[in-house]
Amino acid sequence: MFCKLHMTSFCQLKDYLVFDSDKIDEAGSDVHGKCGNRANVILIPCLESLEKEVQSCSPSGCVDEYLTDPVEVEDCTNSAGSHVRQPNNLNRLLQFSYTVPKETIPEVNDGNSEDCMIMLPDQAKSTDLIETAVDERDTERFDGPLELTSKNVNDQVESNLLLVSTTQHYEQYVAQISRNVKLQNAGDQLYQQSSNCQFPKSFQSVESYKDCLENSGSASEGSSKEATLQQRGTRRHLQFEAAMTCKSIEEESLIPSHVEPRGVSNHRHTMSSDQAIDSWASLCPSEFISSTQHGGTLAISSSIPSGTGLHRNSISRSLSMDSDRVLSKKFDGYMSSQEEKITPGHSNNLAKSLNSCFISSATGELQARVDSNQQDDLGVEEISSDVFQSSDSMKPPCNYLHAAFSEQQADPSEGGMHTTESIDRAEELNQMSPKKKRKRAALSSESEGCKRCNCRRSKCLKLYCECFAAGVYCVDSCACESCYNKPEYEDTVLDTRQQIESRNPLAFAPKIVKHATDSPANVLDDGNWTTPTSARHKRGCNCKKSKCLKKYCECYQAKVGCSDACRCEGCNNSFGKKAGSMYQRAERWKNPSHCKLDATETDIERTEAGTVTQFSPRWEEFADISNLTPLSHYSGALAPSVSPSTRDCPKVSKAQLHPGSSSLKSSSANHLRWHYSPMNFTPQLIENKEAHHELDSENAFTEIRSYDDMPEMLKNTSTPTKEIKACCSPNKKRVSPPQFPSQELMSSSSSGMQSVRKFVWQTVPSFPPLTPYSKSNEGITQMESDLKRNISDH
């Protein structure tokens, strides 16, 4: 049922996207291709989530199902080549997330159908969907990575190739995957499919891939029984992962779902790490992925969902947690640290995996460094901080790296190339006086972009503390005093965190929200389109004296422009001044030619900000991907860690239920995806959506008007107006806590209507309406009835 619903929506999505492109064509722009690609980019991770959902997670009760039978999980045994998979994670993560050449699926499938491609009917549908979704225009651009490389480098979809920077890497990757394919066999469907999806037709390595499959045959034959067990285990693993994902969704946490019982084999651990990456491939971008160009180097930064859940730097620890412990604790928010259970080898691998994940989220360049097993613990940190310099929120949770780094330190015999150096460094840190630390923290946090605090009175248990606010434990290099933000005080941390979340569920959400396409593109003098400003502060600043020109200003600090959400006075933010009234903006909407006069934010971003922070539509779709994680599918059914205030609240704000921010304007696919299903409510989603409300000043007016223009039958008359008022008011001081729909709501018939309505609303073109609004409404009505028909068919 879900599958069908998804498919229906996909079809509509596709239609919409095509329509989208046509719109652009009408506008005479040259971005047609970019938008055309959107279908590809968006659908793939979506399908992944669909598959996971269909295979392993029904919206209800999935957790219970997957929490059983730990024995099977234990059956996973060691196997050769498991270690070498780790670099693969990079490719898998990145490629699976971002590219799926159309031809790759049949290609690999034909060649190694038995070995490589086991598809459930639903998966087949999904694949069909992929092929369906990739229309002819898209295919032209998806002839395979190699061809893509030869294309315009500025065409940013092709930048995927940075992820497979060299043929050597790719072949290595192929060979490694081939080994694993045999070992994991059918049980690892997701993995295989993801692997299969990565093999481009045009790639010569397909041959080597096949060869490797043959060569690796003996290995797998020799252990068929083992493989069977492993298959079960792996499947259980995957299912468990999905189940955990269900939970993690609710928490917005990144609890790697493959939690290891104690004393498992290296292989199992590696598998887990691997799957962690799999998981991350879908989970990682859930907050947003920002893409930035730094000095010509394309960087994708995927920030980790901090959200309301897991303390970020506990992820690495969680991988080695006792499963029972995890089961009991995993919804609590923070994961408990079980450092004593981390075996050196595991932690080291894990550290590498984590590093890989982050690095892979960053750039292909970084990936290359890791792939060649030349990662340097220090280097990693430096690189990442370098890459993620755009804004704090776009930075990786540095403490992750730090944690990994520390774990490497813990095992001098294995891992880092600079182990001695690392130890020295750690000792140096430990022996440092608080003052020195403070000084050092002040300097290093500036240069390395890591969260390091100097708290003295807050015990690092308030949002004053940067570490705490960022969802990371304090680290040695922090200069805090009486710090309780440490693993050993996890209970305290958890409690405090819950307390804060009960006040403001978004307290731990990232302050800067990447916002792909919600604002209209600007037209420059030369007719080219510039992309809309891509990120905004979630709540906006409140600066009075700094004129948003100092780092006191959170917007400025995050290197984003101020928005109407800001209450600043005399805003002079060089990354984008607070815009005029929403009416002025609405005027721009009506008359796009004014946009060029008003292209302040985007232009400023490119000029004054020094670095090019312009997000091409193509890369913004990666941000869209971030919102298309499987997370969204499960949230409705399970909301264990969402703070009580949200979880238990049966109310659904109008802002959430109704089209809200994305009506009659851009936002397109990600909104569509997030909102068309009543299951799609997650804190992150809401956060994003709410951010859309707050951040998209252009939208505000349209939003209100849209609602007014909405057919009566679509208006939600049952929900109070308070929430929407809070969400939409540009002057509001506090973030209004998101209200999450209860299950009853979702199961009710009215929720179906709401869902329909939402979908309809979200399916409105992304661009400023070229026709009178009445016409738009016709379109809405038409689409609504289409959707209703589709749903009733199912």
Smallest gap from Cβ 542 to DNA, in A, equals 3
Residue number, 262 or 457, with CB nearest to DNA: 457
255: tokens are 């609890």
By residue count, the chain amounts to 794
Question: 458 or 616: whose CB is closer to DNA?
Answer: 458
Q: How far is the CB of 694 from DNA (least distance, A)?
A: 13
Pair of tokens at residue 6 = 């998804």
DSSP state of 185: G
Min dist CB 583 to DNA, Å, is: 22
Residue 775 has a CB neighbour count (10 Å cut-off) of 11
Rounded CA-CA distance 223/217 in Å is: 10
Q: How far is the CB of 228 from DNA (least distance, A)?
A: 52
Cα 204-182-244 angle, rounded to 5 deg: 105
Q: Residue 382 CB, nearest distance to DNA (Å)?
A: 19
Q: How many CB atoms lie under 10 A from the CB of residue 328?
A: 11
Alpha-carbon gap, residue 28 to 332, rounded angstroms: 52
d(CA 320, CA 55): 26
Q: Please, is 55 exposed, middle or buried when counting C-beta atoms within 10 Å of its C-beta (0-12, 13-18, 19+)?
A: middle
CB of 568 to DNA, least distance (A): 7
CB-nearer residue toward DNA: 457 or 794: 457
- Which residues of this protein are in contact with DNA, per CB under 7 A? 435, 439, 442, 445-446, 453-458, 462-466, 469, 500, 503-504, 507, 511, 539, 541-547, 550-554, 557, 726, 733
Q: How far is the CB of 306 from DNA (least distance, A)?
A: 13
Q: Which residue from 639, 713, 661 is spatially nearest to 251, judged by alpha carbons?
A: 639
Q: Which is closer to DNA, CB of 196 or CB of 557?
A: 557
Residue 605's Cβ-side half-sphere holds a number of Cα atoms within 13 Å equal to 26
What are the backbone angles phi and psi of residue 730, rounded to the nearest 5°?
-70, -15
Separation CA 240–CA 233 (nearest Å): 10
Contacts of 260 (CB under 8 A, 6+ apart): 268, 269, 272, 319, 320, 321, 323, 346
- C-beta of 84: minimal distance to DNA in Å? 41
* Residue-wise DSSP of 139-150: HHT-S-HHHHHH
Q: Give least dist CB 508 to DNA, A.
A: 10
Question: Which residues 6+ apart lie within 8 Å of 2 measured at CB?
Answer: 50, 53, 54, 59, 633
Kindly tell me which of 158 and 554 has the beta carbon lying closer to DNA: 554
Round to whole Å and give the CA distance between 736 and 732: 9
Measure CA of the first residue to CA of the last residue in the chain; give whole Å.
7
Nearest-angstrom CA–CA distance, 660 and 662: 6
**In the complex, least distance from residue 686 CB atom to DNA, rounded to whole angstroms:** 18
- Least Cβ distance, residue 642 to DNA (angstroms): 18
Degrees, nearest 5: CA angle 498-499-504? 90
H, E, C per residue of 2-66: HHHHHHHHHHHHHHHHHHHHHHHHHCCCCCHHHHHHHHHHHHHHHHHHHHHHHHHCCCCCHHHHH
Our CB check for DNA shows the closer of 460 and 664 to be 460
Q: Is the dihedral of CA 85, 90, 94, 100 positive or negative?
A: negative
Nearer to DNA, 328 or 542 (CB): 542
Q: Give the integer Cα–Cα distance in Å for 378 and 371.
A: 16
Q: Which is nearer to DNA, 59 or 471 (CB)?
A: 471
Alpha-carbon gap, residue 65 to 243, rounded angstroms: 8
Nearest to 518 by CA among 585, 597, 445, 609: 585
Cβ closest to DNA, residue 48 vs residue 287: 287
Q: From the CB of 405, what's the least distance to DNA, in Å?
A: 21
Q: Tokens 């690495």 belong to which residue?
A: 316
- Using H for helix, E for strand and C for coil, what is the string for 720-733? CCHHHHHHHCCCCC
Nearer to DNA, 503 or 775 (CB): 503
Q: Which is nearer to DNA, 464 or 773 (CB)?
A: 464
Closest among 627, 661, 634, 645 to 743, alpha carbons compared: 634
Nearer to DNA, 425 or 456 (CB): 456
CA atoms of 441 and 718, how far apart (whole Å) = 52
Least CB distance to DNA at residue 498 (A): 12
C-beta of residue 181 within 8 angstroms of C-beta of residue 220:
no
> Based on CB atoms, which residue is closest to DNA, 507 or 516?
507
125 vs 311, beta carbon nearer DNA = 311
The distance of closest approach from Cβ of residue 452 to DNA in the complex, given in angstroms and rounded to an integer, is 7
Please, which residue, 510 or 630, has the CB nearer to DNA? 510
Minimum distance from residue 726 beta carbon to DNA (Å) = 7
Quick one: 496 or 614, whose CB is closer to DNA?
496
Is the distance from CB of 448 to CB of 456 less than 8 angstroms?
no
Would you state the structure tokens that stand for residue 136, as one six-digit string? 């002819």
- Distance in angstroms (rounded) separating the CA atoms of residues 630 and 674: 10
How many whole angstroms separate alpha carbon 330 and alpha carbon 308? 13
d(CA 173, CA 586): 50
In the chain, the amino acid numbered 468 is F
Q: How far is the CB of 479 from DNA (least distance, A)?
A: 8
- Secondary element (H or E) of residue 614: none
Give the nearest distance from C-beta 565 to DNA in angstroms.
11
CB closer to DNA, 151 vs 734: 734
Looking at residue 394, its amino acid is M
Minimum CB separation of residue 513 from DNA in Å reads 14
Q: Closest CB to DNA among 544 and 715?
A: 544
